[in-house]
Amino acid sequence: MQTDRPPFVPTALRISAGVIIWAAHFGVIYAYTGLACARRVHATGVTWIAGVPWVIGISTAIAVALMALFIAPALRARGTVRFVDWMSAGVAALALIGVLLEAVPVFMVPVCG
């Protein structure tokens, strides 16, 4: 019997990597902001709200760096890019737009309003 070559799970994860990173980024910034506005002041006296721009900034930087890892190979490739590589890069590029669009409002909108 033929085995699964190339294996399915790594292939699927590679194609979806960009949006999985997007989902993690989205979850982190949404959860932290929600908690910050619900709790306002931490027991130690530090405001959660003050941390919001930092959390968004750092998580966005990490997400962008990780996405670049999946986009770069397709940009460097010569000739026709293999389907899986192309999809991996394309999905990551789309997710990158999502990450940036979601991060930008931190410069424009009050955190809790």
Partner 1 sequence: MSAKRQVELPNPAPRPAEELEELRRVWAVPRGLRTLTVINNNHIGVYYVGTAFLFFIFAGLLALLMRTQLAVPENDLVGPNLYNQLFTMHGTVMMFLFAVPAVEAMGVLLLPNMLGARDLPFPRLSAYAFWAYFVGGLVFFSSIFFDLAPTGGWFMYPPLTSERYSPGINEDFWLLGIGFIEISAIAGAIEIIVGVLRTRSPGMTLDRIPIFAWALLVFAIMIVFAFPAVILATTLLELERAFKWPFFSADLGGDPLLWQHLFWFFGHPEVYIIFLPAAGMVSMIVPTMARTPLVGYRLVVLALVGTGFLSFGLWVHHMFATGIPQLSLSFFSAASMAVAIPSGIQIFAWIATFAAGRVQMKTPSLFVLGFLFTFVLGGLTGVMVAAVPFNWQAHDTYFIVAHLHYVLFGGMVFPLFAAFYYWMPYTSKNALSERVGRWVFGLIFVGFNVAFLPMHVTGLAGMPRRVYTYPAGLGWDTLNLVSTIGAYMIAAGVLLFVIDVARKFRMGSEDNAGDVWKAGTLEWLPNGIYSNRSIPIITSREPLWDQPDLAKDVEDGHYYLPGAPTGGRETLITSPVDAKPQYVLQMPYPSWDHFIAAVFTAAFFMLLTFKLVVLSVVCGVIAIGAMVTWLWSLDPGPTHPPVHIGGGIRLPVYATGPVSQSWWAMVILILVAGSIFACAIFSYLFLWTVSPDVWPSASSLPPAGYPLAAAALLVASSLCVAYSSRALARRSAVMTFVSLALAVPLMVSAFGIDMAGLFEAELSPTDSAYAAAVYLFLSLQGFYAFVVVFMACFTLARQAAGKLSSVRRVTFDNTLLFWHYTVAQTLTGLALVHGFPRLVG
Residue type present at position 7: P
110-to-31, 41, 45 alpha-carbon distances in Å: 16, 16, 21
Within 33-62, which residues bind partner 1 (CB under 8 A)?
A: 33-35, 37-39, 52
DSSP state of 24: H
Contacts of 50 (CB under 8 A, 6+ apart): none
Closer CB to partner 1, 79 or 109, in the complex: 109
| Interface ranges with partner 1 (CB under 8 A) | 1-8, 11, 15-16, 19-20, 22-23, 26, 29-30, 33-35, 37-39, 52, 83-84, 86-87, 90-91, 94-95, 97-98, 101-102, 104-106, 108-113
